[in-house]
Every structure is written in structure tokens, then in C-alpha cells.
Structure 1
Amino acid sequence: MNEQATGGPASPASSGGGLRIGTAPDSWGVWFPEHPRQIPWQRFLDEVQAAGYHWIELGPYGYLPTDPHQLEDELGARDLKLSGGTVFTGFHKGDEQWQRAWDQAVQVGSLVHALGAEHIVVIPDMWRSDLTGEALEPRILDAEQWGRLARGQERLGKALWEEYGVRQQFHSHADSHVGTRREVVRLLELTDPRYVNLCLDTGHYAYYGGDNLRLIQEHPDRIGYLHLKQVDPELLFEVLKNDTPFADAAAEVMVEPPAGIPEFGPIIEAVAAIDPDIFAIVEQDMPGVDIDVPLKIATRTREHIFGCSPLTRRR
């Protein structure tokens, strides 16, 4: 394990030779701005620091303080910095979705920009409700819907860059219309790389059988950000066979590394060869988790990641 991971002397990677490793509220079970079972935000930040991380994501807007001065003070007091935020979109549904997306983008974009972050992860709406498991629309898009999706994401990416100097990183997702390899590649083919690149979530991409290394090797110019996550390959077949909603399966099927797939080491090294400044954010889906559980998992996960490859750094 890198000494840098535990706050010891800096390794060669800490000076620019490896991916910047961070974590996210999701790894503490936070899916919503407010929920009675979620960990209080102050304790979350304390535990991120205790687990040995320096970089974090914003998580759902409204969970962490939204006043930039307060958030900067809270992060600074714990030696933490912000890597990016998250916006949700549904452009395939129609032109009226633009205002919904832009309203979020204004809030999140201005906040992350004020704290010096340069990325916004964009997650597409799921065809199945993450609250009830109900099917809300068909699972696949027609050609017209694909066109709307691509145009909307391009427009958003261009606006985010021009208004806030932040880059859009599109996140394929289980139970969404962009999840399989063919769907991800289709999105890349339909969009301008200046405005739409990928937050490659290793677990969500593997959820539908995607080969992360192959995608990285075939589209190196479209990898802008990473979410590090593993999926249980045996349980996954049960989830898919039984058509279990992702929200119901997430806490079990997305497992603590190194119990699942894909292996992190080769992915870290392949992405570091593209750009050693790319963020690799741990995001283990654990909705509904007991708030006393995540700290030890987050600590072990950091130790595992820094043991996978020397091409990792804390800062």
C-alpha cells in the first residue's frame, strides 16, 4: 500500500504520476438530499477524513451545505476538496426537459465552480423508479429519442463549459436507457467529445456485461472521470434473471472490493496512461445501510485501491 494513502511520505505517484483517488456520499448510503436513515453530513465529512481520503464528490445537491463559503470552510477544516457534482437529466423525453436540467446545472455548476472543481457527473433518468421499482417507460429508446438525448447532452455540456468552466461526464447506469456496451458506444458516436465524455462507472458498466478495459482501450479520448465500483458476478445473474429493480439489489450486488468485478488495478493503469490527473472516485452503492457500517468499508477500500497499483495518489 502507498504510504501516501495513510498520510505518510509522498510516493512518486503523489506528485502527478497517478489517478486522484476520492470518495462520495454514495459510499455512505446517501442517495437523497434528506432522508431520516442517512448519515448526518457533518459525520459523513468527519468519517471521510478518518478513512484517509482528500477528494470527495458533492453528492445529491442539498445534502452538503450549498453555501459555497460554508462548504469551503467545512471541507477545509477536514483537509478535503471537491472533485465535482451531479446532475440528473431526461432529455429523451422531450424539449421541456431542458429547463429541468439547466435549473440543476445552475445550482450545482455554480457551487462546484466556486470551490474549484471542474466536473459534473450527469446521470440519465432511469426507466424504472428508484423509489418504487415501477416501470415508468419502455426500456429502450427509438431513433427519435436517441436524437433528443444526444442533442440535449451536447447542449448541456457546451453550456456547462461556457458558463462555469466545468466538464460534463456522462454516467451510464443500471435501469437506465444507456447501460449496455452498445448503448454507451451509440451515445459516444452521436455526441461531440468536446462536450460529452464519460464518467466510467466500473460497476454499472459491468452490471450489463461491459468490459471496462475494452471501452477504455477503444475510446481513450472519451474517458474523463471514473467511479470505482465492483459488482458480484454471481448475484448479478440472479438480479437480472429475476428482473430485480436496481434500487432493491444495489446494496447487495455492489460489493466491497475486492469481492467483485472488475479488477481495479488494470483499469487504474490504463486510465492513468491516458491522463494521470483523472479522478477515480469510490462510489459503492449502499442505500439504506446502517450508518455505523460505511467507515470501515471505506477505509479498507482505500487501502485496497492503493495496493492495486502505484499509479494512485491521495492528492
Structure 2
Amino acid sequence: MTSMPSSPLSRVRVGSAPDSWGVWFPDDPAQVPWRRFLDEVAAAGYEWIELGPYGYLPTDPVVLAEETARRGLKVSAGTVFTGLHHGPAVWEKTWEHVSSVAELTRATGARHLVVIPSFWRDDRTGAVLEPAELTPAQWRDLTGQTERLGHEVRERYGLTIVVHPHADTHIDTEAHVTRFLDATDPALVSLCLDTGHYAYCGGDSVELIETYGERLGYLHLKQVDPEILARVRAEGTPFGPAVARGVMCEPPAGVPALGPVLEAAARLDTDLFAIVEQDMYPCAPDRPLPIARRTRAFLRSCGV
């Protein structure tokens, strides 16, 4: 009796992240305690998690390994925040942050480091910190220093960096994302496509996967509410306050449709993490778990 061939979607490993529990900061009274997050993400049916902001989960690798293993959880990636468009002057400070996260990430057995560019306006207050557009020299610094980061992280820690386009950063719109990808070495820099952020900034995730599929190293699954998005874009609302207004919504209520995104990713026929991230800062502590359970059930209906 011959066995049926496995679906390409079987190579997509689904998880969730502290972000889906309203966690944006290492320590904040508005956030759920880390033990509760671990308990609930396991209860929702997820096997994979991200570390979230460094310091939220235990930074002692022995403690972290014990706490995740007894809940049947494994770590897919760590996350770092960078301002590499400022050039070599910020390298040492950046590396100090990156090395701490990379060391913990490696200790968990994860192989990816999600790299988020710095915000040009504050995600709490909306205060403008610098111009929204980079100069040509800043673009050269951003791409060159990111390649350096990719090389150092790979050589020292054996990890792959996946750069995460993000609202209110300099890598956000289709034009900025494609400019960044075209200017960086595929051997050193991969893409973490966040479907919600890309839609928030006007991009088409399926088109990006079909055009730059060889660069895709990681997925964040997220949707935006198109009606709220239209209002916050028209009003120029910063990303943080937009999240507080519910711009990121529970699937399948928003855009983009996640089924076609997953199918496009599956056609690449490569192992891929797809981590659910529904930005909900701040949120009531009892809100995330029911959403997480429904989202996991929805993703199973999509074949993953």
C-alpha cells in the first residue's frame, strides 16, 4: 500500500508569539506575566514560540529550557531591534544587544533572528524621532550594516537573520522593501514577511512571495481591519495608537487572506516558520487565549 505524498503545506511550521498576548516590552504592568503566556500559548495548541522582547521570557537558558519543555514548546526565533541606517557609529551598541539575544536564541536550538528596523516615530507616543525617508547615504549604511550583521550572526552564532518590514520604520512599503532586498546579498540577508505590516503599508504579500520567494526565510501571520486601516491612514495615526484602536484584527476577519499567502509560501517548497502575531498592546489579560484558540483552528482549516 503506497502512502499519499505529503502536502507542501506540511513543511510550514505554525507558532505564536508574545505579541499575540499583548507583549511589546520586556517589563510592563499592562502585559500578562510570562508564565501565563507560556501556559496559554500551549493550551491554544501551538508548539512553536518566539522569545519576544529580550527580558520578557527568562534569559537564563537553563530556566527557559525547563519552562518551555515542560509545556511542550520549542523556540523558533529571537528578535532584535536595530538602527543600522545610522552607520558604523552605532555598530558596537547594536552588537551588544544582538549578541545577548543571539546567544539565548542559539541556546534554545532556534536558527533564526528576526531583525526589526528602528522606528522613525515613537510607537508609544507617536512623537516623530527622525524623517520618514532615508537619504541615499543612509540607505547605503542600512544595507551595508545589515549585511555585516547577517555575516557576524551567522559566523558567531550559526543563525540566519530575517529582516522584518514594519510600519513606522524605513522598511515598510513595497518600494522600500524591494529597494532593501535588491540592495542586499541574499546569502546574508533573508526576509521575514509580516503579512499584516505589509498590508498596513499597502503591499501585496502574495505578489511579494511570488517575486522574491528566494528571499523569504520566515513568515509572520497577521491581518489588518481594512475599515480601521483606512481611517488611521487618512488621519496619519501612528502605529502604536492604531493598534490600540484595533487595526490588527483576528483572522479571518481582515486582510490579506491568509490561505493564499500560505499557498504561495508552500509553492516555494521549503521549510518555513509561520508565526501568528496579532498586535494587541494594550489588551485585557483574558482576551488573548480565546482568540489564539480560534486562530489556531482557522489555520488548521487552511491546511497548516
Sort the TM-score into its range (normalised by shorter chain).
Answer: over 0.9
Work out the CA distance in 2 between the residues paired with 1:271 and 1:15.
9
Q: Alpha-carbon deviation of 1:14?
A: 9.3
Range with bigger deviation, 13-22 or 35-44: 13-22
Percent identity of paired positions between Structure 1 and Structure 2: 55
Query: What corresponds to 1:132 in structure 2?
Result: 125
Work out the CA distance in 1 between the residues paired with 2:194 and 2:232.
19
Greater relative CO, 1 or 2 (CA 8 Å, sep 6+): 1
Q: What is the SS of the residue equivalent to 1:17?
A: helix
Query: What corresponds to 2:300 in structure 1?
Result: 306
Match among 156, 159, 166 for residue 163 of structure 1: 156
Match among 170, 174, 195 for residue 181 of structure 1: 174
Contact 1:172 1:201 in 2 (8 A): yes
Query: What corresponds to 1:110 in structure 2?
Result: 103
Query: What corresponds to 2:116 in structure 1?
Result: 123
Alpha-carbon RMSD: 1.5
Work out the CA distance in 1 between the residues paired with 2:220 and 2:6.
19
Match among 254, 263, 276 for residue 282 of structure 1: 276
Query: What corresponds to 2:10 in structure 1?
Result: 17
- Please list the CA deviations of residues 199-231 of structure 1 after superposition, one character each: whole Å capped at 9, or x if unmatched: 000000011110101100011110000000000
Corresponding letter in the other structure for 2:275: I
Q: Alpha-carbon deviation of 1:16?
A: 7.9
Query: What corresponds to 2:287 in structure 1?
Result: 293
User: What number of residue pairs does the alignment pair up?
Assistant: 300
Corresponding letter in the other structure for 1:175: D
Q: Alpha-carbon deviation of 1:233?
A: 1.2
Aligned: 1:273 with 2:267: yes
- Please list the CA deviations of residues 77-130 of structure 1 after superposition, one character each: whole Å capped at 9, or x if unmatched: 000000000011111123222112211211111111111100000000010011
Work out the CA distance in 2 between the residues paired with 1:186 and 1:271.
21
TM-score, normalised to structure 1, is 0.93
Aligned CA distance change for structure 1 residues 295 and 175 (closer, same or farther; 3 Å)? same
Match among 219, 230, 233 for residue 226 of structure 2: 233
Work out the CA distance in 1 between the residues paired with 2:253 and 2:261.
16
Q: What is the SS of the residue equivalent to 1:149?
A: helix
Work out the CA distance in 1 between the residues paired with 2:179 and 2:147.
14
Q: Alpha-carbon deviation of 1:234?
A: 1.7
Work out the CA distance in 1 between the residues paired with 2:12 and 2:5.
12
Match among 190, 193, 203 for residue 197 of structure 1: 190
Work out the CA distance in 1 between the residues paired with 2:247 and 2:124.
17
Aligned CA distance change for structure 1 residues 276 and 189 (closer, same or farther; 3 Å)? closer
Could you tell me which runs of 5 or more consecutive residues in structure 1 were left unpaired when the two chains were aligned.
1-10
